[in-house]
Amino acid sequence: MSLYASMNTAISGLTAQARALGNVADNVANSQTTGFKRTDTNFVSYVTRSNQQVNQPGSVIARPNYTLTVQGTVQPSDNPLAMAIAGQGMFAVAMPAGRENNQPTFDARTFYTRAGDFKMDQDGYMVNSQGYYLQGWATNTAGTPDRTVVKPIRVDKSVYNPVATANVNVSATLPVTSPTGVVSMPVQVYDSLGSQHSVNMTWTKGTLNNWQLSVAVPDDTSGVTSRTIDAQFGIAATPAAPDGQLGSFTAGSGLTETPAALGDPAAVSFVVDFGQGPQTVSLNFGNYGTNSTVTQFDGKTNENSFSQDGVPLGAFSNVSLSENGDVSVNYDNGQSRTIGRVPVVSFADPDKLQKTDGQAYLRTDQSGNARVNDANSNGAGKIVTSSLESSNVDLASEFSKLILAQRAYTANTKIVTAADELLQDTLNMRR
């Protein structure tokens, strides 16, 4: 091995250690960067000729060792749109390419990141601090995601349209031994414009096991003045029902009853007009004879609950995330609507992804194809809401690497100096 070769080998060592120092510097600088994955250094030797008689070292190079599979600490965040992945996988994100018609356009490539510090921008998109747009599956009105297409999730801040009441569910207990009297049960319903109206139900005690139900709607413009129907409980019903259970309705006026077979839905309906046209409202009391929600037993009147399916007009309130990845828009009328689902994307070898700016990565042939799955399924990690994954850099370990790289760099400079001195001695032999 010549002196020149020794010098070249030492110089390659200087270059390798300089790269290792660069990786350490990058790691330390990003020790507080959300979702950052440290880069370790592997050293590989190259031999020009080696056998049992001769070993002629060539050089050493430094290769990066990425750590995408090493979990960072998941910490709580005050940001309700922040997300972290506990386990394997990444968020699919889009990189903006410009604007057209006052809306962002996107690079055709899909990027991937663990930086989940998303916030909603002025256009309704969820964007992290690095400027990448969160992507996911769109959902239908039932909240079922379309898993065929991943695209940027956009929140629609328009109002929640009102829904006219069609069903009122009643749960109450009437007193069987009470003297003849009246039991009033008011409930609120909505018209097609979202305006609230009162419906007053009055139960009037008749003979044993018999009651008359009257329904009054003060805001009704249909001209109907009387809505009454007789209700029979227990043995007074036809056919007879178990004691205390609602068995049948008969002799209705302005109220239409359902068939009275045991087990059928127990309901009466009426038509009302609040100024926007006829609206049919059904009063539901469970099932005849088997599981009625309006019963007759000894004791005081017990109005357990009322519920109805009408909805007033709702204005946008906020956006919330669930651990299955659902993105829901919430309104000030108490309603919510699921508009998308955030999947978790995994790869066969994530450490072979191509690193880009802003803690983002691109697929490569070595990483394998992207596998897009629901969170916490098929090997994908779990989404932790209102949380962030911190950098996986360990400062104590990095300073240890720094000291070792510094010592190795200094040692290589000694080799260069020694080789230079020996070469100088060789040149001085002519004197």
SS3 28: helix
Residue type at 260 in one-letter notation: A
**CATH class of segment(s) 167-308:** mainly beta
Is pLDDT larger for residue 277 or for residue 185? 277
Strands 167-175 and 294-297: what pairing? parallel
Query: Mean pLDDT in the chain?
Result: 90
Tens-place pLDDT, residues 207-250: 888 888 999 999 999 888 889 999 888 886 777 888 888 888 88
* Separation of alpha carbons 167 and 165, rounded Å: 6
Q: Tell me, what's the pLDDT at 301? A: 57
Half-sphere exposure of 223 (CA within 13 A, CB side): 1
The per-residue pLDDT for range 43-64, each reduced to its tens digit, is 988 776 666 666 666 788 999 9
- Number of residues assigned to the chain: 431
pLDDT digits (tens, 9 = 90+) for 4-19: 677 778 888 899 999 9
Q: What is the 3-state secondary structure (H, E, C) of 89-144?
A: CEEEEECEEEEECCEEEECCCCEEECCCECEECCCCEEECCCCCEEEEEEECCCCC
Give span(s): CATH 2.60.98.20, the chain. Answer: 167-308
Cα–Cα distance, 116 to 384 (Å, whole number): 10
Q: Match 């599981």 to its residue by tokens.
A: 291
106 neighbors 131 (Cβ within 8 angstroms): no
Among 351, 342, 344, which residue's Cα sits nearest to residue 70? 351
Number of H helices, E strands in the chain: 2, 32
* Cβ partners under 8 Å of residue 90, min gap 6: 68, 112, 113, 114, 344, 345, 346, 350, 361
- In this prediction, residue 207 carries a pLDDT of 84
The Cα–Cα gap between 56 and 36 comes to 40
* β pairing state of 278-287 and 167-175: parallel
Q: How far, in Å, CA of 151 to CA of 93, rounded?
A: 8
Instruction: State how far the Cα of 216 lies from the Cα of 186, in Å rounded to an integer.
Output: 9
Residues 263 and 163: their CA atoms lie apart, in Å, by 29
> What are the CA-CA distances from residue 304 to residues 174, 185, 186, 288 (Å)?
11, 11, 13, 18
Per-residue confidence at 395, pLDDT binned at 50, 70, 90? Answer: very high
96 CB-contact burial (10 Å; exposed 0-12 / middle 13-18 / buried 19+): middle
b/e per residue 303-330 (b: at least 16 CB within 10 A): eeebebebbbbbebbebbbeeebbbbbb
Q: Check residue 19 and give its pLDDT.
A: 94
Q: Which parts of 344-394 fold into alpha helices (H)?
A: none
The token pair at 334 is: 């108490």
pLDDT at 241: 83
- Is the model's pLDDT at 339 over the cut of 90? yes
Residue 348's pLDDT is 95
Residues 242-295: pLDDT tens digits?
Answer: 888 888 888 778 898 877 678 888 999 999 999 999 999 999 998 888 878 888
